[in-house]
Amino acid sequence: MPADDRKLPSKAVRADVAAFLQKVRTMPAVSAGPGRKGRLLFAMDATASRQPTWDRACHLQAEMFLAARDLGGLAISLAYYRGFGEFMATPWLTDTDDLLSRMTGVQCLGGQTQIEQVLLHTITESKRERIHALVFVGDMVEEDVDRLCHLAGELGLLGVPGFFFHEGGEPMAARCFQQMAKLSGGAYHAFDAHSADVLRELLRAVAVYAAGGQRALAAIAGRKGGATARIAAQLALPGPKR
């Protein structure tokens, strides 16, 4: 295969991205309210196999802050699990350097998945103050799927859409993440080690959605252009902007 061809996403990947963005486009608009920042809980699997993805995410999280900055900003809490039953969550952070410092201090450790802890934590936090989106990045599920789906349904009742980004193609995990996304009112997308650009664009879309909804994404895209504008063209809703 020519080198240039390897840089182009396949038709299947482009179709998956379009389907994901269409899902976000049809979701209810959100608004943090005057003077309030959108709140996004960014959860990651930090078990041993995840170190390369963790390192990439350290750079991508800064772009989420930048994408939402002109909407009044974004507050992100980083949650992760690793090792033997270790689950951690940061305070709600509004400074990208602060979050980056915390992320780069984490080393992935072997252990089983703790997605239930992620969902329970998100539910608890959302009951205190609304969370506008949950992002989860992982590759495996080693827990009771019915229990996870039940908790995802609770997120849906609370109005917290879950965006599940699945690295690799493990079939059982894919089915579980897809069901959790559906039950929470969110969306699912698979990616691999070679699709960092795809993950970057999708995270930007979710960040702007969390900060101000689809129309806000369209408004900032008019000023920023680039990848944000390309996403906004697919997410734009008809009718007057709110």
Quote the pLDDT of residue 153. Answer: 95
Per the CB < 8 A criterion, the answer to whether 173 and 195 are in contact is no
pLDDT-based confidence at residue 8 (cuts at 50, 70, 90): very low
Per the CB < 8 A criterion, the answer to whether 47 and 82 are in contact is yes
Per the CB < 8 A criterion, the answer to whether 79 and 219 are in contact is no
Quote the pLDDT of residue 125. Answer: 96
Indicate the range of 11-20, 137-146, 202-211 predicted with least confidence. Answer: 11-20
Instruction: Give the pLDDT mean for 189-213.
Output: 74
Tokens of 72: 């009044």
How much of the chain, in percent, has pLDDT values that exceed 90? Answer: 30
Q: Which listed CATH number (1.10.357.140, 3.40.50.720, 3.40.50.410, 3.40.718.10) goes with 37-235?
A: 3.40.50.410
Please choose, from the candidates 177, 158, 157, the residue with its C-alpha nearest in 3D space to the C-alpha of residue 169: 177
Per the CB < 8 A criterion, the answer to whether 111 and 82 are in contact is yes
Angstrom distances, CA of residue 60 to CA of 3, 93, 167, 195, 226: 25, 15, 15, 13, 16
Q: What is the pLDDT of residues 119-146, one digit of tens each?
A: 999 999 999 999 988 999 899 999 999 9
Q: What is the pLDDT of residues 50-108, one digit of tens each?
A: 777 777 777 676 667 666 665 567 888 989 999 999 999 999 988 878 887 888 888 88
Please choose, from the candidates 141, 152, 137, the residue with its C-alpha nearest in 3D space to the C-alpha of residue 198: 137
Quote the pLDDT of residue 242. Answer: 30
Quote the pLDDT of residue 194. Answer: 64
